Amino acid sequence: MIGAWLRALGQLGDPRLRRPVLLGLLAAAVVFALLVGFGVWLVGLAATGGGGWLDRIVSALGGVAAVIVAVLLFGPASLAVAGVLLDDVAAAVEARHYPFLAPATPAPVWSQLLAGLRVALRVLVISAVALPLVLLLPGVGSLVWLAVSAYALSREYFELAALRRMDAASARALRRRHRFRVWLAGVPAAALMLVPVANLFAPVLGAAAFTHVLHDLGLGARRA
């Protein structure tokens, strides 16, 4: 599964990925900025408004907390971006590594966007449930969050990639048949989301890596 991520990373300089990489960076940056802004707004609501030392402490700690929460929630939010970019990224990956495959039949752009938003909301709820553990128990909570996020991200990235070449029921059955290996492939995705700046590449890298995972596990495609 690590090999899938290494191949995805090695293709970042591919001219066929230039457009999705640039669009992905821009969209991911906007998503991250919105998450930080939302966190700062919540901190403002929590302030007492008296202007005293308590407000200053809340503002200082709240600003840091807003960034941390934005980083932790960036993963699920980025799935909406990945849903839109997936077809271009997967097509570039298949053209380079699997040129013998028949052309895929991707869904319309609006359908990909809706699918990305739907899975992003689902993963966001899962991550939000695990988030209090991270804030209250930084050590154990972080490991729990990483494991839960790896499961959620791997499930959705894999099924988004699989839907280009099979129906939803087949995609789910394939993922369940290889659930542990798919989860392992999700661990780098969850870890990457925690690294500022690098996490902006996560939508493209995730889409590319799970295209490889799909072919390695599901379609039996040999690497070129």
pLDDT at 213: 93
pLDDT at 22: 84
Q: Is 220 exposed, middle or buried (0-12, 13-18, 19+ CB in 10 A)?
A: exposed
pLDDT tens across 167-196, in order? 888 888 898 999 999 999 999 988 887 777
pLDDT band at 154 (very low <50, low <70, confident <90, very high): confident
Q: What is the pTM of this model?
A: 0.74
Structure tokens given for 106? 């991707």
pLDDT band at 223 (very low <50, low <70, confident <90, very high): very low
Evaluate whether 218 touches 177 at the Cβ level (below 8 Å): no
pLDDT band at 131 (very low <50, low <70, confident <90, very high): low
How high is the mean pLDDT of the chain? 77
Domain boundaries along the sequence of the chain:
2-219
Q: How far apart are the first and last CA of the chain?
A: 17
pLDDT at 42: 67
pLDDT at 185: 92
What is Dmax (Cα atoms) for the chain?
68
Choose the weakest-confidence range: 46-60, 64-78, 158-172: 46-60
49 has pLDDT over 60: no
pLDDT at 220: 46
pLDDT band at 222 (very low <50, low <70, confident <90, very high): very low
pLDDT tens across 4-22, in order? 899 998 888 888 888 888 8
Distance CA 202, CA 211 (A): 14
pLDDT tens across 74-130, in order? 766 666 676 677 788 888 999 899 988 888 776 666 666 666 666 667 667 776 776
Tell me which DSSP letter residue 198 carries: G
Mean pLDDT on 26-55: 68
DSSP string, 88-131: HHHHHHHHHH-TTSPPP-PPPHHHHHHHHHHHHHHHHHHHHHHH
Evaluate whether 169 touches 110 at the Cβ level (below 8 Å): no
145 has pLDDT over 90: no
pLDDT at 14: 86
- Can you tell me whether residue 86 is helix, strand or coil? helix
Share of the chain above pLDDT 70, in %: 67
